[in-house]
Amino acid sequence: MGRIALIGGDGIGPEVIRVAEVVLEAAAAGHGIRVTLDHWDLGADRYLRDGVTITDEERDRLTGDYDAALLGALGDPRVPDNAHARDILLGLRFSADLYINFRPCRLLVPDLSPLRNTDPGIDIVFFRENTEGLYAGVGGSFKTGTRDEIATEQSINTWRGVERIVRAAFEHAARTGRGRVTLVDKANVLRHEGGLWRRVFAEVGVGFPDIARDAMYVDAMAMDLVRRPHRYEVVVTSNLFGDILSDLGAQVTGGLGLAPSGNLNPGSWALFEPVHGSAPDIAGRGIANPLAAVGCASLALAHLGSEEAAAAVDECIVASIREGVTTPDLGGHATTRTVGEWMAARLAD
């Protein structure tokens, strides 16, 4: 039994979440799982209509009454600076202390990668720190708007914050039989935060003697993810580097239309969302690729403890690509909705 909140959000969000919903329903029915799915009206339309992003009461209910939420996308050209998106998304991440941004990047079918030689495959899981670093909002500006302007942005790294994300990466490696964890930083230049991350990485790593560990500078890592991505299994890194590198990882394994992500705090409420944004340029045209959202549905089922149902959904994603039941971005002729219908029928079989 599980409860999942569905937040379509903006742009292509509602279209891809509708597909995630039919896939979730079919997978749950096929595996005898009872899942309650409720739609939540959060996003630009509501903000422009009522002037409300999300109330404190809604935030408490969402994180207290549900096991997880599935969010399509937030971002709308009608809202300056996408203030509503920041308020809703960062508010939920911080209030629920979702310190892990979990981004699996697996090459499902070799042809999907823009890289020439992908043998022996790509299967990397990024653990991006999700609550600190340069995203903590610590800094300020002085003499703003003048030629004497000074702007600062400080990177916040706490021992506790670093320890828990590093430990989560090692625990995931141990649980899933992965043999190596790689720390990515810029410790040769950013010596203070780099020193802290490296010390914690070594200290936590000692507790996992069967897992190899290495450290890479972020610039070398960007090159290596193109040159020999098969070398990496689990990558743990700061908020900013994780944001950038996991997009690179998504691209070398098939692009934005395929990449799911989870905002996690083990044992508590989780928020799953595709890595892509609201893509307003293609919204409402029925061509948005729903596979990233379906990947989020799989992560949500695993979060509920239904590993078998999650594996069935993953298998369905691979089958849809192999059989060419895809949207035009992957070379197919299917619509967003028909991909969902095909998957639901396959899961019902």
Which residues have a catalytic role annotated?
135, 186, 219, 243, 247
Q: Residue with structure tokens 């916040």? A: 156
DSSP letters spanning 213-260 = EEEEEHHHHHHHHHH-GGG-SEEEE-HHHHHHHHHHHHHHTT-GGG-E
* Element holding 122 (H helix, E strand): none
Minimum Å gap between C-beta 216 and ligand ATP is 25
Q: In what order do the strands lie in the sheet with 100-106?
A: 35-40, 2-9, 68-73, 270-274, 260-264, 100-106, 123-129, 234-237, 180-185, 212-217
Q: How far is CA 41 from CA 15, 48, 68, 202, in A?
A: 14, 12, 16, 45
Site size for ligand ATP (CB under 6 A): 14
Minimum Å gap between C-beta 288 and ligand ATP is 4
- Cβ neighbours for 271, distance < 8 A, ≥ 6 positions apart: 68, 69, 71, 92, 93, 96, 98, 262, 263
Residue 108 or 288 having the CB closest to ligand ATP: 288
How many angstroms separate the CA atoms of 170 and 207, rounded? 9
Minimum Å gap between C-beta 279 and ligand ATP is 4
Minimum Å gap between C-beta 229 and ligand ATP is 21
| Residue 293 token pair | 């959202």
How many angstroms separate the CA atoms of 35 and 13, rounded? 21
DSSP letters spanning 75-115 = --TTSGGGHHHIIIIIHHHHHTT--EEEEEEE-SSGGG-SS
Residue 22 or 288 having the CB closest to ligand ATP: 288
Piece of the chain touching ligand ATP by CB under 6 A; list 123-131, 191-199, 207-215, 279-287: 279-287
Confirm or reject binding of residue 75 to ligand ATP (CB under 6 A).
yes
Pattern of binders to ligand ATP over 7-46, x per CB under 6 A?
Answer: -----x----------------------------------
**What is Dmax (Cα atoms) for the chain?**
67
Burial of residue 232 (CB within 10 Å: 0-12, 13-18, 19+) is buried
SS3 for 151?
strand
Confirm or reject binding of residue 247 to ligand ATP (CB under 6 A).
no
Do you know the residue count of the chain? 349
Q: Considering only CA atoms, which of 337, 341, 250, 348 is closest in space to residue 290?
A: 337
Among 256, 302, 311, 319, binds ligand ATP (CB under 6 A): 256
Confirm or reject binding of residue 295 to ligand ATP (CB under 6 A).
no
Minimum Å gap between C-beta 4 and ligand ATP is 20
Confirm or reject binding of residue 278 to ligand ATP (CB under 6 A).
yes
SS3 for 51?
coil
Among 225, 282, 297, 309, binds ligand ATP (CB under 6 A): 282
Residue 247 or 308 having the CB closest to ligand ATP: 247
Confirm or reject binding of residue 288 to ligand ATP (CB under 6 A).
yes
Minimum Å gap between C-beta 42 and ligand ATP is 15
Minimum Å gap between C-beta 287 and ligand ATP is 7
Piece of the chain touching ligand ATP by CB under 6 A; list 131-139, 172-180, 229-237, 288-296: 288-296
Among 279, 283, 312, 347, binds ligand ATP (CB under 6 A): 279
How many angstroms separate the CA atoms of 103 and 88, rounded? 20
Among 329, 337, 338, 341, binds ligand ATP (CB under 6 A): 329
Residue 242 or 257 having the CB closest to ligand ATP: 257
Among 242, 277, 295, 332, binds ligand ATP (CB under 6 A): 277
Residue 205 or 295 having the CB closest to ligand ATP: 295
Judged by the rule CB under 6 A, the positions of this chain that interact with ligand ATP are: 12, 75, 256-257, 276-279, 281-282, 288-289, 292, 329
